[in-house]
Structure 1
Amino acid sequence: MIGLVLAAGAGRRLRPYTDTLPKALVPVISPDAADSRTVLDLTLANFAEVGLAEAAIVVGYRKEAVYERKADLERRYGVKLTLVDNDKAEEWNNAYSLWCARDIIREGVILANGDTVHPPSVEKTLLAARGTALPGRGRVILAVDTVKRLADEEMKVVADPEKGVSLITKLMDPANATGEYIGVTLIEPEAADDLADALRTTWERDPQLYYEDGYQELIQRGFRIDTAPIGDVSWVEIDNHDDLTRGREIACRY
């Protein structure tokens, strides 16, 4: 099991930071200091805390900034890094970005979006769920917030303990959702080929689709996806400057 971060996005709503940096490298902790820490830093620290010795990062927009920091990130967190290039990062959405890491996924991964500030308890929850999975279950486990009050923009999930996830989409009534997918997933090696094929179908249908649409494609094919509730945990997806302010408040707590 290794870590995997999707860090190819531009994050244009975070300009001027993202004029020169990918979203994953926008400073979160000590933003004005030379040793400021980013979402990527926080995620790699989480991986290290749960014992992952290797991680892959899918890069695209302003990828040179990640390449420049690779050696320092490896020293700081003790995690060996592999960078995977997404050649369509500025044109296509992240279904293609995750598909670019299809060979990495065969090793088994904890996937984290490069814009999600969250504590290591999320990764611990996923690994604990892995250990209790029944046969035929637990090949893909989504970290889900079942506490937060939902609105229209969240990536919502409908799930049943016996049947797994039936729907993952933003386009549904929040009142009917089980919770919000927070952008962190455990993917076992035996799910890799099925997921890669579903992702390929998804981005070939529409390059602007999300990898969560690939999850839905898997579900429609009869593949079971499970969830792990993260509890009452502070986290945020950083899309804009208000989210960044919230992310900085949260990150200082752990």
Structure 2
Amino acid sequence: MIGLVLAAGAGRRLRPYTDTLPKALVPVDPQGEGSLTVLDLTLANFAEIGLTEAAVVVGYRKEAVYARKAQLEEKYGLTLTLVDNDKAEEWNNAYSLWCARDLLSRGVILANGDTVHPVSVERSLLAARGGGRRIILALDTAKKLADEEMKVVAEDGAGVRRITKLMDPAEATGEYIGVTLIEPEAAADLADALRATFERDPDLYYEDGYQELVDRGFTLDVAPIGEVAWVEIDNHDDLAKGREIACRY
């Protein structure tokens, strides 16, 4: 199994940082100097659970990731593969994950490049393996939800029934936090669902690909992460929260 980070996005709401950096490289160290980024935190999590390889899907300002590749490999003891997304500024992340389709057959722990989270999330996913589970989503069942969150309805014994932002928060079981364990056995099905998703509409999310799988009768499971501090960094308010959380890890 390897780690996989989606880091192709522009993150325009984080300007001026993202004038020159992809969102995954926006500084989350308290001083904002760049000694710590979301990509750093995620790679550190991968190393802590014993992974030795990771891949990063890059696109917008990818040269910044290429420039840091050797340093990141040495710092975290990981062999990194960079996967180019040629449509990062045109299409949404269903296509971005599809770009890494050849790696899915190795089994991956997927993490969005804008999610600050502790290594306990990856450990929760690993603990949930087995029993025929092929895709397991990290789910926050404690947070009070609003309109912007990626909401999930899950049923005991049946897994995910719906995953979308376009849902009444009161209906949701919890929020998908942007971290997934994907077993090798799911690779072909997921790649096909992602292709169908971005061919239907290139602006769709990879979570819409997950819904495509559910609609085809594929079972996606969830692993509750408990009450842990995490944040998806979309804007400067999120960034301030991310810096406060990153200090704890």
Q: Tell me the TM-score range normalised by the shorter chain.
A: over 0.9
- In the alignment, does 2:248 pair up with 1:249? no
Question: 1:205 aligns to what?
Answer: 200
* 1:36, distance to aligned residue in structure 2 (A): 1.0
Cα displacement string for residues 200-249 of structure 1 (whole angstroms, at most 9, x for unaligned residues): 00000000000000000000000000000000000000000000000000
Q: Secondary structure at the match of 1:141?
A: strand
Question: Offset of 1:165 from its aligned partner?
Answer: 0.4
**Counterpart of 2:12?**
12
Q: Counterparts of 1:72 and 1:246 in 2: how far apart (Å)?
A: 26
Report the counterpart of residue 134 of structure 2 in structure 1: 139
The Cα shift of 1:30 comes to 4.2
**Residue in structure 1 matched with residue 27 of structure 2 by the alignment:** 27
Q: Distance in 1 between matches of 2:41 and 2:47?
A: 10
Counterpart residue number, 2:124: 125
Map 1:161-176; keep pairs closer than 5 Å.
Answer: 161-176=156-171
Structure 1, unmatched stretches of 5+, are none
CA contact (8 A) 2:13 2:235 kept: yes
RMSD after superposition: 0.8
TM-score with structure 2 setting the length: 0.99
Which residue matches 1:156?
151
8 Å CA contact retained: 2:140, 2:175: yes
Asked if the contact 1:30/1:36 (under 8 Å) is kept, the reply is no
Aligned counterparts, 1:165-244, within 5 A: 165-244=160-239
**Structure 1 residue 161: deviation in Å?**
2.0
In the TM superposition, what is the alpha-carbon distance from 1:160 to its structure 2 partner? 1.1
Counterpart in 2 of 1:85? Answer: 84
Query: Which whole-Å CA distance do the structure 2 matches of 1:98 and 1:41 have between them?
Result: 20
Secondary structure of 2:128's partner?
helix
- Indicate the SS of the match to 1:55: strand
Q: 1:70 aligns to what?
A: 69
Corresponding residue for residue 58 of structure 1: 57
* Alpha-carbon distance between aligned partners in 2 of 1:161 and 1:49, rounded to the nearest angstrom: 31
Amino acid at match of 1:87: D
Q: C-alpha distance in 2, partners of 1:231/1:148?
A: 10
Could you say what secondary structure the match of 2:28 adopts?
strand
Note the residue ranges of structure 2 that are not aligned, 5 or more in a row. Answer: none
* Secondary structure, counterpart of 1:10 in structure 2: coil
TM-aligned CA deviation for residue 32 of structure 1: 4.1
- Is the 1:3–1:110 contact (alpha carbons within 8 Å) kept by the matching residues of 2? yes
